[in-house]
Structure 1
Amino acid sequence: MSTTAPDPLPAPASTGRAGWVTDVLAGYERLTLPLHPDFEGEVVATLVRRVRPHAPADDAGIDLLYVHGWTDYFFQTHVADFWEGMGVRFHALDLRKYGRSLRPHQTPGFVTRLRTYDEEIEAALAVIGHGAGVATDRRLVLLGHSTGGLVLSLWAHHRPGRADALILNSPWLEFQTRKVGRRVLEPSVRAHAALAPRSHLVNVDLGYYVRSVSSRYDGEWDIDPVWRPDEGFRATPAWLSAIFTGHERVARGLSIEVPVLVLLSTRSTPPVRWSEEMLRTDAVLDVEGVARRTTQLGRLVTVARIEGALHDVTLSALPVRDVVARETERWFRAYVPPRPPAPAVEAEPDQQGWRRWFGRRFGA
């Protein structure tokens, strides 16, 4: 994989909504979010949503923003269907230099600080109606997968009161070799980041995870090989240094005030050689190391360990996905109940009727 990638987006067709154009996913539209340029030039993020000709009658008064993981982008339309089926307005964000937001002049996935992503998160929330300082009676749920789970955990910690709930799908809260491995690798990675931040590290992704999820191999999902290469993007030392900083911050303990749901597989399979076990385990993260870190997110954390789940638990086999949906909905109904119906507005009193009643009551 080269450090640049073509922009495979087709010429946009306007949907008639200001700035929104037809997306590559049928029935979806996207909005480009201009961001401050960096040393590589133009930078954008992309917000994606289902086309909604009319407001849903069963609107629960809840908005959800989904953020993907490393070497990833939004394509999980069945996840959007699940949330929209519960009356939740679903939006997904392709971060800068990923998926729909990747431009030919950019190093895929490259940032030097995870807080850089605050800019596009804030831009997306402003469009959804949850911008900083904006008063709204709608609730906000954040959903992050893998690296997106780490990013949103840090965001929620730094911005108390902005979200109402946080859902983490196999969040990358700890390095695969845990704290000891982090401490061994970190000095050399940080030194390398200072000298050659965009150079390539040794690629340890052998493509086994994509094999387990892509319909081109043993999986069932249609995944764009440009936006999600089989062996992933080549990691850079500056990016990995930013990840280490995020892991260290989680290790010191966060103070997320809202309810948190963490969805994890029960087992991991080291991605050193292909195994059929990779079709029913997490072949990316060390789930035990992540599970131990979940207690340091906040005061109210629910951990659901899903037997047979893949790294992205929502891409698991159908029976496993049913368990994921059931556990998610049970937690959601308990901690983020639908908005109560608005109180009925009393009609203006009938003035003539009021006068007649007053006359009978008081002899007027």
Structure 2
Amino acid sequence: MRADEVTWGPDLLGPGFEQTTLPLGSDDEGDVVATLVRAMPHPGLRLFGAWRDIDVLYVHGWSDYFFQTDLARIFTDRGARFHALDLRKYGRSIRPGQARGYVTSLDVYDDDIEAALAAMDTERLGRRLMLLGHSTGGLTLTLWAARHPGRAAAVVLNSPWLELQLGPLGRQAVAPLVEVRARFDPRGAHPAVDLGFYTRAQREVGSLPDAPDGWRPERGFPTHPAWLAAVIAGHARVAAGVEVGAPALVLLSARSTSPLRWNDTMTSTDSVLVVDDIARAATRIAATVTIARIEGALHDVFLSAAPARAEAADRLVSFVSGLDR
């Protein structure tokens, strides 16, 4: 869909945000769509803002959707155009009967991303593209940028899921077992591993709005063998070394907490990923990588308590402001 064919309508986030549906054909579950949400800077900032030539494309994490309005305003307040993509079978893009978040390869999202970029019209307008990804979205955008060198001017990753929680050796040990099950039982059920503590931590911090029913369940979407195999394959690619072809900023909490039992430290740590493993993996995604460890940050650093959230915003602004034009 070309930019001049796109129709924008109101979004559930209210004034200042619009959305459009991006048709992506169909699969064995029916029609498939992605949804692009945008926030535009005020007219004066479009002309004179420091980031007036930047287009941002944000991609959410697992069991998630875009709702972080304050994050969008960091960009629009400086003249950038902000866009967020609810991938197929997530959030605004869920259709009846679909297995939420289910794919058998992260490369499938190339179609979602290309449809979003066509609607944004970034290349024709000669604007700089900044990719901004959280958790699984960070892994997806890292791999996309590595397969499409020269497209992104910068990559910002918010606690990207670049390595399995078992670490490199654990991932290598379980990968063959996961692949076998993915081949013979791709949609089989996995035991629930999300006990809801991360959602509880966000609620206690006060950073989590009510989500439409089913968009962001407290204990996450059900997971399936073929999906997990796709994620592990992405981790293996990162471990082997990729090149996103642009400066990268990786924002992480200063420390992790085990997700198996509630602990009050979960309100100031990452209870989803092992951040030390993610920091090591992040050194393999680009020639120039800045890794910022944020004291007191949650898994989504921009949903942390105010001091950590402010530090993350400062690191982001400093990084973007220092990019070469």
User: Shorter-chain TM-score category?
Assistant: over 0.9
Corresponding residue for residue 284 of structure 2: 296
For the Cα contact (< 8 Å) 1:165–1:336, is it kept in 2? no
Corresponding residue for residue 247 of structure 1: 235
Corresponding residue for residue 14 of structure 2: 26
After superposition, where does 1:207-222 map in structure 2 within 5 Å?
207-214=196-203, 219-222=206-209
After superposition, where does 1:10-89 map in structure 2 within 5 Å?
18-27=6-15, 28-50=17-39, 54=43, 56-59=46-49, 60-89=52-81
Matched, 1:98 2:90: yes
Identity %, equivalent residues: 51
Corresponding residue for residue 11 of structure 1: none
For the Cα contact (< 8 Å) 2:132–2:155, is it kept in 1? yes
Structure 2 residue identity aligned to 1:94: D
Corresponding residue for residue 160 of structure 2: 171
Q: Secondary structure at the match of 1:335?
A: coil
Q: Distance in 2 between matches of 1:70 and 1:234?
A: 10
Corresponding residue for residue 128 of structure 2: 139
Q: Distance in 2 between matches of 1:115 and 1:228?
A: 23
Q: Secondary structure at the match of 1:97?
A: coil
Q: Distance in 2 between matches of 1:275 and 1:268?
A: 12
After superposition, where does 1:1-364 map in structure 2 within 5 Å?
18-27=6-15, 28-50=17-39, 54=43, 56-59=46-49, 60-130=52-122, 134-214=123-203, 219-224=206-211, 225-336=213-324
Q: Secondary structure at the match of 2:56?
A: strand
Question: Which has the higher Rg, Structure 1 or Structure 2?
Answer: 1
Q: Cα gap change, 1:291/1:18 in structure 2, threshold over 3 Å: closer, same or farther?
A: closer
Cα shift readout 1:30-54 (whole Å, capped 9, x = no counterpart)? 1000002112111000000126785
Cα shift readout 1:215-263 (whole Å, capped 9, x = no counterpart)? xx55332031520000000111000000010000000000222100000
TM-score for the superposition, normalised by structure 2: 0.94
Give the unaligned 5+ runs of structure 2. Answer: none
Q: Cα gap change, 1:212/1:18 in structure 2, threshold over 3 Å: closer, same or farther?
A: same
Q: Distance in 2 between matches of 1:204 and 1:44?
A: 28
Q: CA deviation at 1:57?
A: 3.7
For the Cα contact (< 8 Å) 2:243–2:287, is it kept in 1? yes
Give the unaligned 5+ runs of structure 1. Answer: 1-16, 338-364
Q: Cα gap change, 1:142/1:218 in structure 2, threshold over 3 Å: closer, same or farther?
A: closer
Q: CA deviation at 1:18?
A: 4.9
Q: Distance in 1 between matches of 2:41 and 2:284?
A: 38
Q: Distance in 1 between matches of 2:298 and 2:41?
A: 31
Q: Distance in 1 between matches of 2:22 and 2:156?
A: 24
Cα shift readout 1:175-203 (whole Å, capped 9, x = no counterpart)? 00111211222122111111121121111
Q: Distance in 2 between matches of 1:142 and 1:281?
A: 24
Structure 2 residue identity aligned to 1:42: D
Q: CA deviation at 1:332?
A: 1.0
Q: Cα gap change, 1:218/1:138 in structure 2, threshold over 3 Å: closer, same or farther?
A: closer
Q: Cα gap change, 1:51/1:260 in structure 2, threshold over 3 Å: closer, same or farther?
A: closer
For the Cα contact (< 8 Å) 2:34–2:88, is it kept in 1? yes
Q: Considering only aligned residues, what root-mean-square deviation do their CA atoms show, in Å?
A: 1.6
Q: Aligned residues, how many?
A: 316
Q: CA deviation at 1:29?
A: 1.3
For the Cα contact (< 8 Å) 2:39–2:82, is it kept in 1? yes
Q: Cα gap change, 1:251/1:279 in structure 2, threshold over 3 Å: closer, same or farther?
A: same
For the Cα contact (< 8 Å) 1:173–1:290, is it kept in 2? yes
Q: CA deviation at 1:137?
A: 2.2
Q: Distance in 2 between matches of 1:52 and 1:166?
A: 21
Cα shift readout 1:127-184 (whole Å, capped 9, x = no counterpart)? 1113xxx544211100000000000000110101111000000000000011121122
For the Cα contact (< 8 Å) 2:250–2:292, is it kept in 1? yes
Structure 2 residue identity aligned to 1:105: G
Q: CA deviation at 1:336?
A: 4.9
Structure 2 residue identity aligned to 1:261: L
